[in-house]
Structure 1
Amino acid sequence: MGKLKEKYFKDGIAEYKKRMSKFAKVELIEVPDEKAPESLSEAEMQQVKDAEGERLLGKIKDRDWVIALAIEGKQRSSEAFAKEIDQLATYGHSDIDFVIGGSLGLSKAVMKRADNTLSFGKLTMPHQLMRLVLIEQVYRAFMINIGSPYHK
């Protein structure tokens, strides 16, 4: 959700995308976020999340395995995450979509569509930073799965 503007995030993501190219095809899809004022009622927040959710769901194919990033999602170690990625590929889920929401989080519809959730802890991070952290962790998962010392 949202457009990546900062060059340092773009550069970091490009580096990990390049490193992962020997393991997987990585596609980053940006979906425009909903413009919203600073202070919103609960109903207005829900409307924003629903509009963003519709845009996100429009990019997800029926057969894709969806992992929603959410603070309330499932936390796991890097090793457990690597094992999960490996098992998904083994059992025919080669198209994995990681979904990062906007500043208000993900809609109920996106969370319902998700096959699994992922949390990097209780901290709130900007989605631009989360993209970099996520792509590094996916790369780390590949490195763990091939026995590379990168993880140490």
Structure 2
Amino acid sequence: MSIEFDSDKQRLDRDMVYRYLSGESYWARGLPRDIFERSLDGALCIGGYDQHGRQVAFARVISDYATFAYLGDVFVLDSVRGQGVGKALMAHIDAHPQLQNLRRFMLATADAHGLYAQYGFAALSAPERIMERVEPDIYQRLARERGQP
């Protein structure tokens, strides 16, 4: 399958990406639209487009473009899964000129370890040195505070 990737935020199908992240993903379910929009503003966003110009893939990289990057919100639509789109997306990210020679590039995944391992990602080398603060129900709490279902 022929896919074109670029990081033009104006080209993104923001409604589709938002629907997927807030409604279908396991990691951002319930994501409020305003937080979604801010997340795009502060990141390198990569869209994948089929031969008809329809967006079929997405990834977001948060980085200082010198020492560190975090890869998140990666998805490929069900309609094109199993056709190499995820691998093509990762190859594009791996070769992106702004993401070269980083000391640390991180991500979190529940189910795609095999894919990411092909691009050099591995379990934490020193997990005792990494800390995190996680609020897994933050979007649901925000919705309640805002009076939304």
TM-score band w.r.t. shorter chain = 0.3 to 0.5
Higher relative contact order (Cα pairs below 8 Å, separated by 6+ residues) = 1
Structure with higher helix content: 1
Structure with higher strand content: 2
